[in-house]
Amino acid sequence: MKIVVYAISKNEAQFAHRWMDSMSEADQVVVLDTGSEDGTADRLRARGAFVAVEEIRPWRFDRARNRSLELVPEDVDICVCTDLDEVFHPGWRAALEQAWVPGAGQARYRYTWSFQKDGSEGVVFWQEKIHARRGYRWSHPVHEVLQWTGEGEPGPTVTAEGVQLDHHPDPNKSRGQYLPLLELSVQEDPEDDRNLHYLGREYLYYGRWDDCIRTLERHLALPKAVWRDERAASMRYIARAYARKGEGEQAQSWYLRAAAEAPYLREPWVDLAYFLYERREWDGVLYATACALKLRERPRTYICEAQAWGSLPHDLRCQAFFHTGRIPQALEEARLALEASPQEARLAGNVALLEQMM
């Protein structure tokens, strides 16, 4: 099979060599550079990539992705879309070839979107940006997705268990363009539930509480908004917005709705537990964290937050046991929290203090 990696770039010279090393298992690498001023294109060409330069005006991620896809030769079997701040683990090609079947449409693989300060994994989910050459186009100005535009039905999506892609972004890079592009995306397709969810979340990031609540309530009202994981996330974000507005009863109501919508996810329970921790409702903290810790299988979707799967549930339980005078149980939870985050000095201090009290 012929496998080609394609990407878009702008002012990412710092990542060029690392990325080319990671993508070297492909037969070819093609890049659409959209106006770099730091020598990104030259560095990539020096490493063997085919680079075309074209500014996309007005800027849209889907247009840029589609133009980069057009650079991929027609005789290619598998297209691999990555960004320059991403790195494959070695052996990805062999794992992909092993998983791919004749007539397949896309491949699903493991993606680490963020890392913790101690280097451990943060947000992890499975994505599907590997696809067959024909019949696919990118859609939406931002948070773009692959859409099947070919004839008939797309081929099956295979799961490439051995493919791992890590995201190591530039923390100084602005995401200021996301909000206007999301607003444009919703304007173009107001019935798209995914766009509304992302827009509401973006309003939350900007502290626009009322816009967040209004937009996410629109998301929940859409007939197409049936994915319970995402619905629960919208409810959690609404709860956070109400909490920031100082409307605690509304916040608690929405946290409970989120937990009821997707009781199989840790995130709603941990959010509820933290909210109750701030209100010093210790029995509620113990109940919510117990519900969270019963869930052992981490989901493969992007609706997954690192803190829910790290030390936080045990840390909250430790605090609740301590404040209700149950020191042995608090110590047990403190040790479990430290085991999950061994580099965190505060957690080590909790263990030492509780051991002294025992």
pLDDT confidence of 174, banded at 50, 70, 90? confident
**How far apart are the C-alpha atoms of 13 and 288, rounded to whole Å?**
46
Q: Where do the domains of the chain lie, and which CATH numbers do they carry?
A: 3-167 (3.90.550.10), 178-279 (1.25.40.10)
Q: What is the pTM of this model?
A: 0.91
pLDDT in tens, 307-334: 999 999 999 999 999 999 999 999 999 9
pLDDT at 118 over 90: no
